[in-house]
Structure formats: C-alpha cells, structure tokens
Structure 1
Amino acid sequence: MTPKKPVRIGCYSAYWGDSPAAAIQLVKNEGANLDYLVADYLAEITMGILAARRKRRILSGKDKGIDYVPDFLSLVLKNILPDIAKNGTKVVTNAGALDPIGCKEAIEKLLKKLNLEKQIKVAAVLGDDVLENKETETLESFSQVHSFSPISSTEHGLDADPMPAKDEPILSLNAYLGSRGVADALAQGAHIVVTGRVVDSALVVGPLIHEYGWNENQPEYYDRMASASLAGHVIECGCQSTGGNFTDWRLAAESPYGGYANMGYPIVEFDANGEFVVTKPEKTGGLVSPATVAEQIVYEILDPALYLLPDVILDMRQIRVSKVGENRVLVQGAKGRAPTPWLKCSGIFLDGWKLSGELVIGGHEAKQKALAVGNAVVQRVENMLKDVGISPFRGTNVETLGGESLYGPHAKKDVSREIVLRLTAHHDDTKALNLFAREIMAVGTCMAPGITGSGSGRPKPVPNLVHFPCLLPKTEVKASVVVGNDSLQTVQWEKWDESQSFGSPSVVPLIPEASVSSTTKLVKTKLINLANGRSGDKGDVCNVGIIARDPRYYPYIKRSLTGPVVAEYMKHLCKGTVTRFELPGLFALNFVLTKSLGGGGLSSLTIDRQGKTFAQLILTGIDIEIPAELLPADQAKL
C-alpha cells in the first residue's frame, strides 16, 4: 500500500573512511524517525584496493579472508542494532563489497550474539562479480564487451578510458547492479540488506520501489524512478549535500550547533508524487540550502540529459531546487526513460609499480629550490638506471605542494616559504623504484638548503593498479538475492530500450547567453563571485559543475565560460577534450574533461587523482565579464 507519509531515508557514509559516528547521529538523534538508514562504502579506489588484497592473499595460499567492509559491523552495526530493532529502521548498504554472503553471515553471527536473530532478518544481493566462475580472468571470457564513453551513450569508444588487452589478466571486474535486488530482499522481509557493487543510488531506489510498489506498467514509472535515483545521488555522498565541500565553506564551518565539528548527515523525505525534500537532523552543524543541494546534484555527472543507471536514464536538465523551510530544500523536475541494454562495470588490472616520496623545503625561494631538487633527483636516478642496464621510468612527476602546482602556468609568483616536494615514479621493476627512494632520502646534505624529511620515512613501491570502465550486456550478468535461510533467487532485469532511442534525448528550452551591445559597460570578476562549483572523478575523466549564484548571472557566465576557455585554462592538466553541457533548471553548466587525472584515482602520479580541486581552480582562476550594475557588492577579493 502507498504510504500516507513521505518515506524518510538517511545516509551516514559516503565512502569507506567516513565517520562511524554519523550512523549513531541519525539513529539516535531525536526527531530523525528514519524508515531506512543507508550507507555507501565503495568507490573505484576501494574496489581496487580490496581486489589487490584478495589477490595477494590467494597467491600466499590463504583461501579465506575478509573481503567485505568489517568497519560496518565493528564500528557501526554493533552500536545501533538495539535501536534499529526497537524502532524498525531498516538498513541498506554496499558494505558487502567483494563478499556479500560473507558479510551477511558475519551480521547473522553478531545478531545471534546479541540475541536479536529472531527479530532481524539479513539479505545479500550478489552477482556483480562477473569474473566469478569464468575460466580465465580476462576480457576474452565475455562474448561482448564495450568501452565506456563519458560523452556518448551510443558511440562507446568516444574519448573512452583505455582498457586492458583482451588476453591481459585483470584483478577484478564488477558490474554496477541496479535497485531491483534490494527491493526484492525487502519484499521478502529483510531488515538489513548488504550488497556488493551496485550503483550508488540503488541503496535509496530499492527501498522506494518496495514502499510504493512501483512497476513498469504505471504511466509515471520512469519519472518516479528518475526522481528516486536523484534522491539517492543527492545523499549518497553524506555531508556533501549538507555543507561538506561547499564553495561557501564558512557558512558550514561556522554554522550553529558546532559547524564542522558536528556536521549533520542528510535525510531525504520522499513523497508519493515523486518530489522529495532534503534535510538533516535538528541541532546539528552544516546547512541544507538550494546551493548545497545543487552542488551535489552536479557532482560526478557526465551528460546531464543521460545520467545512465541500470534501472532508468535520469534527465537532470530541468531539475529545480527551492527552500521550503529552515534546512529544508524541495527537489523537483527529474525526468526518466527506459534504461540501456548495458551495465557499466568497474575493472582493475595491474600495470607495474609506483612510488611516491615527500620532502619539506623551507626558506627563501623554496619553490625554486624544490623544483631544482626534484628534477635533479629524477635525472640522477635515470642516469643510474642507464648505467646498470635498467630501462627508464615509465613516468615521473615533480610537484611543489604549497607552491600552487595544481594551477600550473596560472600559479601566483608570491608563494609560500615552505614547500612539500612530492616526487612520484612509475616502473615495471621495484629495483628501480627502491633506488629512487634511496636517492630521495639522500638529498638532505648534497642539494639545496632548508631540506628536512616529511616524517613518513623512506617510501616503498606499491602495485600500480589501473581502473577501467566498460560495458557488458545485461544478458551476461545474473544478479540474485538470498534472504535469511531461504534459497538463492534470481533478480529479473527491468525492460530496456533495444532501439537505443536514448541516444537522442528530447530538446528542452535553454537559456541564451547574454547579448552585449557596444554601449554595455562590462567589468571582469572572478567566477567564484558569481557561481558555486564542485568537481569529481569518473576514472580518468573529471567533471566540473558550475551553478550561478543568481539567475541574472547565468547568461553572462555562459557567454564567458565556454568549452574552449576551460580547455585553454586547464590544458596543463587536461590532455583530452572539454565538453560543455547545460542544466537550465539549476542555472548550471557541466564541463566534462577527459584524460585529465593522469590515468585515474588508482594509478595517477599526480596529487589530485580524483579532480576534487578542479572546480576551485576554475572558480578562482577564470574571469567573467558582467555589467557593472550586476557586480555583487560583497564580491571576494581574489
């Protein structure tokens, strides 16, 4: 039956490493009254680390280990089980990681220890590990496999990240499953559902399918699924929708009830009509505003007309956000259509070794000294490798942290008098990297003055893990669910669009860029004075979302902030293309920068492997022309 009140879902974790205190806040904070508590633990980097650890264990002869997220049990579930048993809150999480069944069994063991096994039933959703039961752990095991394009839903090779050779061994390959398995588990009476790799929003969409009984025969089914997916996208990164990573950071840091020290975690209240409100527990820090929610909406997206998910294609272009109360934001306007025939997969393969070491350099001309030392160390070791017959490095990177290295040619000349010199190298032989580590530590007495160690000691080589996205037909992926002691049941896929008509999304009204006459007096101001922004990664691709602070600014931002302008400004980091997309409902632009993260989060040699700083670089570095009368009175002094 359709609930009479909105379904309330809180999210306490954005990644493996988020504060475990957040779950206690959401469960025990007076007035939360949650129907569901969800948690996202898995990122591309996390899956790679877990896969490498599992491979090392197997090679050492150990068959059994912990391949799920143990912190979910020891730091979270153990502390909230009595409360969720009492108030009926259900828990959905992807903490199952590489072993959802193992995670389920560990939870059941904990429940038995607490005498709660008769009150709480646990389910696991599995099938994302598409290498399981394959004869060879290579792409040759699949009859069809496509690369994944960040800027085209039908031309899969367009600006796609490179994939391993067909016969090259891969450590892991996990499909992003949808929400149907979660919904099936809840329908069968599960109170706790653990999954492996699912699309992040599935943790929210699954409960809403279950609560509202949505099915494909309903006329507004895809719009409801799209809105539910958007709700999941907004809260899956925890505090990023309640003031975390917010451009106007002081509003969150200095907010009532403790600011950063007591950040409130997000709650969505999802109504039967498909609209939802974003909020947070009372008397917690941070803030929920149209700006904080809009920033999260544009985070880690590609084409906003085609946000591809296993169950639906979400169109974000007409989304609107509005304040409806203190720390309450209404989100409307999501549109949906039938999904594609493919599932996106996250793969990991091994490509040599890498090493990173750091030194602190202080005093006069600290940046210049650091660059001289860094380049000398690289050249010195290259000469040594040549002398002993070892091949050159496959890649090196010299960075001066504190010297605006991220800004490249746009760095200010007046820089800090203390610099962290970061040296990174990639090689197939650990002997070469160990030599590199020794020479990093040897410069204290033979090079520039003011050098001291970073305190971390001599660095060691680590495997260079490479992430790659790809697409598999849904017909090659079999998802299943097991609830309590019941037998394994197959999860049925939603109908998909065989015609690929999704490649041509509908046309929506756009807001034209400003038309400026010869008499218009224009002045320049930094973009940050006119817009908020947020950036994030998708493999070796970075997106930068820019949202106008005032609708009046938007036509002028469009006029000045073009794709070529961003490409020119970011060319020291972006080695691919820059594509601009529009979200007129939010008065926002989204820029997709390909080949911009040095290979992606696992393998990159750069300090910002996930593009988290890119929005800040653009906001503080690019000027916008705007009429003098529109210039904000309180513009930042940059």
Structure 2
Amino acid sequence: MRRSENSVVVLGGAAGAWGDSSFALPQLLDSERCDYIFLDALAEITMAILARARQKDPALGYATDIISMIGRELPRIVQQGLRIVTNAGGVHPRAAADVLRGMATEAGVEIRIACVEGDDLMDRLDELSDLDLAEMSDGEPLVTGPLSFNAYLGARPIAAALGAGADLVITGRCVDSALALGPLLHEFGWGLEDFDLLSQGSLAGHLLECGPQATGGLLTDWRDVASWHDIGYPIAECRADGSFVLTKAEGTGGLVDVRGAAEQLLYEIGDPGAYLLPDVTCDWRHVELRQVEVDRVEVKGAIGRPPPATLKACAQVVDGFKVTALLMIGGREAAAKAARLGSELTTRAARLLERDGHPPLRNVDVEVLGAESTYGPHARTTHSREVVIKISMHHDERRALSAIVRELGSFAMAVTGLSAGGRGLPKPTPLIQLRSYLIPRDRFAPTIHLDGASIPYLEPSPAAPVARPADSKLGHEPIPVDELIEVPLVALAHARSGDKGPDANIGVRARHRDFLPLLRNQLTTRVVADWFAHRARGRVERYELPGIDALNFVLRDALGGGGISSLRFDAQGKAYAQQLLDMPVRIPRAWLAHAALPALPSRRS
C-alpha cells in the first residue's frame, strides 16, 4: 500500500562493503528506528573473489560473512517487523537465500525470502558477442573466457519482490543505490517518470551505501570526529517528496554534518550532472544540504532525467599473476637504501628470468612508504629513519614470480636494517583485469523467486534518454589582489577521493561560499593535471556543483590500471584528495581573518 504524503520511511545502511563491521547491523537494530536496513556487499574485486569461490564449491559464490550476520539477527529482524535488502547474493543469490532459510528454521522464525537474478551474463557470451560491444575505456572487443560477467540492475525488481510480500530480498549485482531506492519505490509508489523523486531516492542510497563514510568516516577534518570505534551507521528519514534527513543512531560515535554529507555526495560520481543509473539519470549539481540539528542534515534538490538506454556490465578477466612484498628498513638513509633495494631486486629478477628461460616481467611498481614516494615531486620527507618498501611485480607465470620472491631472503643478509617482520614469503595471486561494457537494456529480463517460487515480473521500458542540459555559465569572479599570501588548499576546502575503474575522482568543497571563486580560478584542469603528472596519464575533467559550493575532478587513467589490477599500494586513489589538499594556493592576506578559515596547518602536519 502506498504511504501517505506525510509519512516517513526510515532506511539504515548496515554495510559499505564485504568485510564491514559486525557491530553495524546490531547497532541499527538496537536503535529500533528503521523500517528497512540494507547491506551493500559488492565491489569489482568482490565479484572476482566470489566467482572463484563458486568455481571451487558450487554451493558458494555469495558474501558469506554478511549472510551469516543477517542470519544471526533473524529473530530480532522478525520481532521488529522490518525488512532487509542486500546484494550479498553475489554470483549465487539462490544459495544465499537457501542458507538464510536454513538459519531461519534453526532459529524457529518464519520469514519470506526473495532473490533477484538476471545480472549474470556468463551463459550469454555467444549472444553478446554478436552485438559488437566495445570496452568503455579503450574500445577493445568483448573478452573471451571471463572469470565473471555481471550487469548492474536497477531498483524495480527489488520493489517488485517487496510488493510480492518478501521480508528479505537478496540480489546479485545491482547498482548500490538501488538497495535504498527499491524500498522507496515500493513504499511511495513513485512512477517510471518521477525522475526528480528517483534521483533524490538514489541520492539517499548513494549517501548510505558506504556505511560510516556518511557519518564522519573519511572526513578531511578527522579531529572533529570524536571516535571511530563506535561510529554510527547512517540512517535516512525519507519523505514522499524525495527529501530526506541524514542522521545516525543516538549515542553512537562519528559525526553527521554538512561537510561529511558533501564529501560523500561527491564520492566517485564523475559528472554530477549526468550520474547514470538504471532507473534515472541523476543531476546533483544543485543539491542543497542543511544542518537542521546536531547530527541531522536535510538533503533535497536532486534533479532527474530518463535513464540511459544501456546498462553497464563488468567482466573480470585473469591476466597473469602478481605478487607484492612489503619490507621494513630502519636506520639512517632508510629511504635511499629502500630505493636501491627496489632497483637491485628488479635487476636480479631480470637475471633470474633470463637464466631460467622465462619471459621478462610485464610490470614492476616500487614505492617507499614513509618517504612520500606516492607524492612524486611534491614529497617533503626524504630522510625518514624508518620506511616500508613495497615491491609489486606482474608476470604471466605464477612459478616465475615464486622463484623471484625466493630471492628476497638473501637481501636480508645484504641490506642494513631490513626486516620482513616474520611474515614469510608472499604468494603470487591472479591479476584480475576489469573490462566494462554498455549493453542495450532490452537484453535484460530480471527474474524474482520468492521462497523458491517464481514471481511474474516484466521489466518496464523507461522513457527515451534526453540530452544533458548545458552547464550554467558561472564565470570567474574577480579576486582582491592587494596582497596575496600562499596557504595550502586545505585551508580553503575539504575533499574526498576514490576510483571508477582506471580513473580517479576527487571532489573538492569550499569551506565557505566566499572561497569558491578563487577555487574556480586556481584549481583549473591544467593545474590539477600538473599536480598529479606523476600519477595520471590521461586528461583531467572538472565539473561544478554550485549547490554545495564544490568542484569535482575526474583524472583519467590515473590508477595504474584500476583498483583490482593496479600494482600500486593506493590502487583506488583514496589518498589523492589529501595529496591535492596540500597544494599551495594564493589568497588575499585579509582572508586570514575570515571566520571560515581554520588555523593553518604547519608544513609538517
């Protein structure tokens, strides 16, 4: 039944990834505030792990820890009358559903469990090969023999499962925000063309899908967050008009304020005027965030357009093997010794491969952690007396890498101050490449099974996509130039970064609207490209979000291949925002008295 216009649906986000805290779901249940709790389990690397697990054991292929976490709490879930939605089904939603049914029987509770399928494309490779698909980043044709291949489904199958009476919905791959939008579609009855509402509901999911990242986690101003050990998981109080209040359970750690909400809004969205989802094309450039009470932020102003005519699908492909060694080196000139070790081990590896008849290494990446090697030319600490060297290598043969790592022990007898910490030799693992494609949405027919029985479902056809509206011309406002001084960017802004395939995303928000014109003037695409020239090989794009006084940067080909295939330690660009915030900018001296300018950090901070 559709809720009244004045009613509120309360959503809780209890997991931001496979491996999230076991305290999260109990915390939200303890609050007794939620109508729905959803748990997001999947990322690109997770799909590859789950696919390999199912190859070894046909009964596996789902996120076991999250399914077990839900199972332990089934009595309280039933007692409170709330509903659960999760994509922890991975590549085997039915197996996950069967496990939970068994746990429900053992606990003596009755619960109706639905699973949504239709995202798995592994049995359709021949059919899809006729479509002349091109990989999204390099235009290469469809791969053969992937480890897994799944499309991102939308929210409507979840809503249909809830409408059929499911208390618990388990999906395979779907967009993360669909885990929140599905319940809102069911509760409020939003239609196919209620695009602004669909965009606003998707924004609620976007803010909650990464768990505590919306409640003080990853906040630039981390000292303002009282504690992390008991951090509150996010709650959204959603209204029928699409607006919602972001909050958390009372008495928990963390912090809910406009800064954290803005950083999470910017997180990994690419073009904020065309954030493409299966149910809607979102335009979040003019979203408004307002602190209404302590730990309560009101969110409204999202705009939507018809969704794209395609769905994104990602294949995981094994491309040889990789191995990573971490070694500590202490004492004087530690960084110099580490750099030499990296060079000499690489040289010995080349000699060994040639001697034993193997082809050369495909790639090597050496970083000296503690000497700011990831900062490139911007490093300021080169004389640390304690560093960790990370050496990663890529080769087609596992045994070739195993032979190389056996040589590590001899260097402990050559390099002063070297220690492996008693960790033993690292083992080579498959290197997985992510390959992404756009597939016509009419090729998909999601299916729903409720307690083992098929539920009739027909995926609706959305309106045809429309062109993206042009950006409004904001221009460059003049900046007072009576006397300029240099400060780090963090004095004027806070930021958050992440990844999208091989690309990095850095969202930067002005601490005050007065600072935004200066950021527009000085944070140009060329300046950001130059700052990350040692990391990014592609172009830099900049987008504006005037609603939250922010800029969003996309750095193409900036992660050494991306999160699951990169040899870099920061394969997902999580530290990029903090590195950018160290960049010097020039401000009028008079701004030193501005109330929004924090105490300037020292260069040693």
Distance (Å, rounded) in 1 between the aligned partners of 2:259 and 2:384: 32
1:187 aligns to what? 163
Decide whether the 8 Å contact of 1:12 with 1:265 is kept in 2. Answer: yes
Aligned mate of 1:246, from 202, 206, 219: 219
- Counterpart amino acid of 1:333? G
1:19 aligns to what? 21
2:112 aligns to what? 121
1:537 aligns to what? 499
Q: Deviations over 1:250-284 (max 9, x none)?
A: 111xx2xxx11110000001111111110000011
Q: Secondary structure at the match of 1:501?
A: coil
Distance (Å, rounded) in 2 between the aligned partners of 1:494 and 1:334: 23
CA gap of 1:315–1:372, structure 2 versus 1, over 3 A, is: same
1:627 aligns to what? 588
Distance (Å, rounded) in 2 between the aligned partners of 1:19 and 1:251: 22
1:151 aligns to what? none
- Counterpart amino acid of 2:450? V
Distance (Å, rounded) in 1 between the aligned partners of 2:85 and 2:221: 32
Aligned mate of 2:208, from 205, 218, 235: 235
CA gap of 1:414–1:379, structure 2 versus 1, over 3 A, is: closer
CA gap of 1:516–1:70, structure 2 versus 1, over 3 A, is: closer
1:342 aligns to what? 310
- Counterpart amino acid of 2:591? L
Distance (Å, rounded) in 1 between the aligned partners of 2:531 and 2:523: 11
Distance (Å, rounded) in 2 between the aligned partners of 1:245 and 1:69: 24
- Counterpart amino acid of 2:3? T
Q: Percent identity of the aligned residues?
A: 39
Aligned mate of 1:472, from 424, 433, 439: 439
Offset, 1:78: 2.9
- Counterpart amino acid of 1:50? L
- Counterpart amino acid of 2:418? I
Q: Secondary structure at the match of 1:617?
A: helix
2:518 aligns to what? 556
Decide whether the 8 Å contact of 2:287 with 2:301 is kept in 1. Answer: yes
- Counterpart amino acid of 1:224? L
- Counterpart amino acid of 2:399? K
Offset, 1:93: 0.5
Q: Secondary structure at the match of 2:73?
A: helix
2:536 aligns to what? 574
CA gap of 1:162–1:421, structure 2 versus 1, over 3 A, is: farther
CA gap of 1:13–1:349, structure 2 versus 1, over 3 A, is: same
Q: Deviations over 1:380-416 (max 9, x none)?
A: 1102222332211000011111111110111114442
Offset, 1:162: 6.3
Distance (Å, rounded) in 2 between the aligned partners of 1:515 and 1:209: 46
- Counterpart amino acid of 2:189? G
CA gap of 1:561–1:359, structure 2 versus 1, over 3 A, is: same
Q: Deviations over 1:556-595 (max 9, x none)?
A: 1111111100101101111111111111111101110111
Q: Deviations over 1:85-142 (max 9, x none)?
A: 112110000011101111111111111122212xx2111011000123x3xx578635
Task: State how 1:236-315 maps to structure 2 within 5 Å.
Answer: 236-252=209-225, 255=226, 259-315=227-283
2:488 aligns to what? 526
Offset, 1:501: 2.9
1:439 aligns to what? 407
Aligned mate of 1:93, from 50, 64, 86: 86
CA gap of 1:315–1:166, structure 2 versus 1, over 3 A, is: closer
Please say if 1:71 is aligned against 2:65. Answer: yes
- Counterpart amino acid of 2:436? P
Decide whether the 8 Å contact of 2:71 with 2:100 is kept in 1. Answer: no
Distance (Å, rounded) in 2 between the aligned partners of 1:619 and 1:139: 48
2:462 aligns to what? 495
Please say if 1:358 is aligned against 2:287. Answer: no
Distance (Å, rounded) in 2 between the aligned partners of 1:457 and 1:243: 37
CA gap of 1:20–1:423, structure 2 versus 1, over 3 A, is: same
- Counterpart amino acid of 1:346? C
CA gap of 1:471–1:633, structure 2 versus 1, over 3 A, is: closer
Distance (Å, rounded) in 1 between the aligned partners of 2:139 and 2:379: 31
Distance (Å, rounded) in 2 between the aligned partners of 1:388 and 1:83: 61
- Counterpart amino acid of 1:23? L
- Counterpart amino acid of 2:118? G
Please say if 1:591 is aligned against 2:553. Answer: yes
1:157 aligns to what? none
Please say if 1:39 is aligned against 2:15. Answer: no
1:507 aligns to what? 470
Q: Unpaired runs of 5+ in structure 2? A: none
Aligned mate of 1:636, from 589, 601, 604: 601
Offset, 1:145: 2.2
**Which deviates more, 392-401 or 167-176?**
167-176
- Counterpart amino acid of 2:74? L
Distance (Å, rounded) in 2 between the aligned partners of 1:230 and 1:50: 28
Decide whether the 8 Å contact of 2:479 with 2:517 is kept in 1. Answer: no
Aligned mate of 1:204, from 180, 185, 203: 180
Q: Deviations over 1:24-76 (max 9, x none)?
A: 000012xx421000010001111122223334x2xxxx5x23111121232x2
Offset, 1:627: 1.4
Q: Secondary structure at the match of 2:430?
A: strand
2:336 aligns to what? 368
Distance (Å, rounded) in 2 between the aligned partners of 1:463 and 1:121: 39
Q: Secondary structure at the match of 1:77?
A: helix
Offset, 1:555: 0.6
Q: How many residues align?
A: 597
Distance (Å, rounded) in 2 between the aligned partners of 1:167 and 1:226: 33
Distance (Å, rounded) in 1 between the aligned partners of 2:441 and 2:340: 53
Decide whether the 8 Å contact of 1:341 with 1:496 is kept in 2. Answer: no
- Counterpart amino acid of 1:273? D
Decide whether the 8 Å contact of 2:306 with 2:466 is kept in 1. Answer: no
Offset, 1:20: 1.5
Distance (Å, rounded) in 2 between the aligned partners of 1:528 and 1:36: 37
Decide whether the 8 Å contact of 2:326 with 2:390 is kept in 1. Answer: yes
Distance (Å, rounded) in 2 between the aligned partners of 1:577 and 1:472: 26
Aligned mate of 2:429, from 442, 462, 465: 462
Distance (Å, rounded) in 2 between the aligned partners of 1:546 and 1:104: 41
Aligned mate of 1:172, from 117, 134, 148: 148
Distance (Å, rounded) in 2 between the aligned partners of 1:42 and 1:139: 26
Q: Secondary structure at the match of 1:390?
A: coil
Q: Deviations over 1:480-537 (max 9, x none)?
A: 111224324334134142xx533xx2235454333246x5322211011111100011
Distance (Å, rounded) in 2 between the aligned partners of 1:456 and 1:470: 40
Q: Secondary structure at the match of 2:320?
A: strand
Decide whether the 8 Å contact of 1:144 with 1:472 is kept in 2. Answer: no
- Counterpart amino acid of 2:348? R
Root-mean-square deviation (CA, aligned residues, Å) is 1.6
Q: Secondary structure at the match of 2:499?
A: strand
1:107 aligns to what? 100
Decide whether the 8 Å contact of 1:208 with 1:228 is kept in 2. Answer: yes
Decide whether the 8 Å contact of 2:372 with 2:381 is kept in 1. Answer: no
Q: Unpaired runs of 5+ in structure 1? A: 149-159
Q: Secondary structure at the match of 1:292?
A: helix
**Which deviates more, 312-321 or 45-54?**
45-54
Offset, 1:161: 5.0
**TM-score of the superposed pair, with normalisation by structure 1:** 0.91
Q: Deviations over 1:141-200 (max 9, x none)?
A: 35252433xxxxxxxxxxx2565x546321111000000000000001111000000000
**TM-score of the superposed pair, with normalisation by structure 2:** 0.96
Decide whether the 8 Å contact of 2:132 with 2:142 is kept in 1. Answer: no
Q: Secondary structure at the match of 1:454?
A: coil
Q: Deviations over 1:361-382 (max 9, x none)?
A: 1000100000001100101110
CA gap of 1:199–1:491, structure 2 versus 1, over 3 A, is: farther
Q: Secondary structure at the match of 1:361?
A: strand
